Amino acid sequence: MQKTTLEQWRMFKAVVDYGGFSQAAQAVHKSQSTVHHAVGKLEESLGTPLFRLEGRKAILTDNGELLLRRGRFLLEEVERIETVAESLSTGVEASLSIAVDSAFPQELVFCVLESISIKFPQLKVEVVETVLSGANEAIAERRATLGISPIMMDSGLNEEICQVEFVAVANQGHPLHLLGRPLTNEDLKTHRQIVVRDSSTGASVSAGWLGSEQRWTVSHMRTSVDLVCKGLGYAWLPLPSIQQYLDEGLLLPLNLERGSRRTVPFYLNYADSDSLGPAARELLGELRYQTMDMPT
């Protein structure tokens, strides 16, 4: 016979997540006494205090820290089971969210979505545009079912599907092109670099060389491309996004001593394969097919 209930674990987690009993009560729409009672019963059943009071603040004990990790895992598993059951009972999912890093070739995404729309015309699709670790955050927060990211998830499934080449470029009239010799990092430091900000709200990840003393940071890859095309800085940009401008001569690769080109692996990430519905599985297969000729 189990001594604890899922509701008690949920209340315990809520107190930690929202920073106190009062805040937890407001967040889960329960009375504060109900939250206190649930946590108290959990402590009684487990035979160990989960919090200690410092003034009016509840602080996790060492045992509380350990049990919180176990409790989070328990609740995540229950949520996965409920998601799988819902998928089994309803058949084809009504909607699907996919988080896509802005450096990933957009044309591939469009081709995949077009194919999915033919097979599942009633499916509602949401594309969440992200940068760096933003796709993985969207998956972790259940805002996306699938993600395409240059960063592997700490937990979940990571499948490398392709590599994308990044090229250091600047507008054809940029002063760096006029030096007439291989460029050093010291040369780059004296000119403006355009950087795209990680869209994750948690711990951000930086990518590429960030040594320039003059740096503009933007939120979208498209903005970065536009600024570089206008001659307002240089950047390492994904080749699929700028191939047209290279062909036209508007952008030129920087003649760096080293590091002018680099390849970045991209991963197809998702939390749990058992919880994927028919449309999500079809999208996975279509993404694999569309990227099969790209380098990995």
Tens digits of residue pLDDT in 273-284? 777 889 999 999
- Give the start-to-end residue ranges of the domains of the chain: 6-89, 92-162+265-290, 164-263
- The answer to whether 96 and 123 have CB atoms below 8 angstroms apart is yes
Which residue carries 């740096």 as its tokens? 215
Q: Which residue has the higher pLDDT, 223 or 52?
A: 223
- Model-level pTM? 0.70
Architecture label for domain 6-89: Orthogonal Bundle (1.10)
**Could you tell me which CATH class the domain 164-263 is placed in?**
alpha beta
Q: What is the mean pLDDT of residues 196-208?
A: 77
Q: What is the mean pLDDT of residues 246-273?
A: 93
Q: Tell me whether the CATH fold assigned to 92-162+265-290 matches the one assigned to 164-263.
A: yes
Mean of all residue pLDDT scores within the chain: 89
| pLDDT per residue as tens digits for the range 151-192 | 999 877 899 999 999 999 999 999 999 998 999 999 999 999
Question: Which of 288, 74, 220 minimizes the C-alpha distance to 296?
Answer: 288
User: Is pLDDT above 60 for 88?
Assistant: no
Of 36-50, 153-167, 196-210, which range is least confident?
196-210
Distance CA 102, CA 238 (A): 9
With H, G, I as helix, E, B as strand and everything else as coil, classify residue 273. helix
pLDDT band at 203 (very low <50, low <70, confident <90, very high): low
Q: Which residue has the higher pLDDT, 79 or 112?
A: 112
The domain covering 92-162+265-290 belongs, at the CATH homologous superfamily level, to Periplasmic binding protein-like II (3.40.190.10)
Question: Which of 44, 50, 57, 55 minimizes the C-alpha distance to 18?
Answer: 57
